[in-house]
Amino acid sequence: MVFNTGSALLDAIVLAVVSKEPEGTYGYKITQDVREAIEVSESTLYPVLRRLQKEDCLEVYDLEFAGRNRRYYKITDKGMVQLRLYYHEWESYYKKINVIFGGVK
């Protein structure tokens, strides 16, 4: 992708991905799901997850899987409020950009 992904957009994408799993989801799956929209490395994504946890947008818990612990991330109520804000901002931004690109083929 030729466009830079700002931290707010990355936060919004991560929160949207995590919100799709009511019981939470684990880091590797989050990385794979985010990569469906944008190219991101795990070394970029894990600091985002930690920051969102620190901001109380995500809660974290561990579950055993195949003999080892797997860290899960679950969106909080505060995270849902933030995600809705991002969604409304994105919707407005998207519409404005589409008007500018209108007619370009």
How do residues 41-97 score in pLDDT, each as one tens digit? 888 899 999 999 999 999 999 998 888 899 999 999 999 999 999 999 999 998 999
Architecture of domain 7-99: Orthogonal Bundle (1.10)
How do residues 29-40 score in pLDDT, each as one tens digit? 999 999 998 888
Is the predicted pLDDT of residue 104 greater than 90, yes or no? no
Q: Rounded to 5 degrees, what are φ and ψ at 60?
A: -125, 140
Q: How far is the CA of 25 from the CAs of 16, 18, 31, in angstroms?
A: 12, 6, 10
CA 37 from chain center: how many Å?
A: 10
Domain boundaries defined on the chain: 7-99
CB-based contact 73:15 (threshold 8 Å): no
